[in-house]
Chains A and B, each alone.
Chain A
């Protein structure tokens, strides 16, 4: 009689997970309980060894998703970089209290695929940010985390930016100012694009420039903003 997942130690679980995965790929009947239990131990009990077994078991699957993504070839990164980020992201996103939402192995693997998709997007965003940063001659932005490289840095920078945007938007007086600052700096649109996109607010490009400078003047005169973020 075969063991159930609760009767096995970690090594046994890992072994049975591997066996059942092989059955799956041979299109034979398989039992997903062992792999699911490994996930539960890793994500609910934060068991590092279970996490390591899962990584070994599913690393090829995640690598396949990454390598088939059209952005992978031009990313300049190794598959392992994205694979590690995907597992890290799942580890951070599924806290013990969230695990109950995942009723079976398919749901967990589906979520791992979501994490994989999102790390590729994160990398593209980081590249976008570096292009914008390069346009500004002083590469070090005061008080900002370096978003290039690691998940933590990106998360910190996202938080800092959201906080700054909240401060800025509180100081804008009307819809036109809010629109022009949002479109110009948050969306990185050129003045002509802003005018075309928001024609009802800006009859001509000159109005875009004038409104934007009026908003920036107010931010420059704000001592709190100047103290936190320098000259605007």
Chain B
């Protein structure tokens, strides 16, 4: 059966109706007429196919975006990329992701040079596990503790660490610590957790000597405490 309305509807009108972007009368007709519905559906499929063929056809390779973000792209190509980025929300979103990964703290890349000069004069201590529990205050704010505190000693400094499950994130753990007897320093003490040489987490010791590192995957880590007066390392800390 042929639709008596077919000649009245152009292709774009059928698609308008199929997508619900037209008046109710046309929409109802196209929905109820098998000829119009079939034609509209075919046109829609062709549009989807065109999208599949062309989707992000002029986007630069991801590595080009990464080079651009790192300032490694040639200046003329950078202008091409800037122009593309102005129009492409997909690439702009990817650039944000690239920026995030490049901004991750990374001991291999920062600092550029090995610690030398003045820093070599500083106290470098490797903390030893000396036991647990009795008479030692627990880190503040400790909740849902899984294991007894671990007590480390390095020179005059004691470190009391507790590891417990992260209640909000299944499978993750939280490390809390209290540092006592740390030598005076001009700067805040940075606490870094490293795994296989790469920094995974970082925080700053508060004025009471407490710190907390959250969202940690279970595994073997090294903990590094560092300020201008000393560097203390705990090797093989299992979290």
Contacts and interface: CB of A to CB of B under 8 A. Distances in A.
A138 interface: yes
Given A65-B101, A136-B45, A188 B51 contact: yes
Nearest to A105: B108
Nearest to A63: B196
Contacts of B115: 27-29
A121 interface: yes
Interface in B185-219: 194-198, 200, 217
B231 interface: yes
B219 to A, nearest CB: 10
Nearest to B124: A27
A84 interface: no
B104 A114 contact: no
B173 to A, nearest CB: 15
Interface string B88-118: 1110001001101110101111001011100
Contacts, number: 193
B85 to A, nearest CB: 13
B57 A164 contact: yes
Interface residues of A, number: 74
A59 to B, nearest CB: 9
A61 B196 contact: yes
Interface of A: 21, 23-30, 60-61, 63-65, 67-71, 89, 93, 106, 109-111, 113-122, 124-125, 128-129, 132-133, 135-138, 141, 144, 155, 158, 161-162, 164-165, 168, 181, 184-188, 191-192, 205-206, 209-210, 212-213, 216-217, 229-232
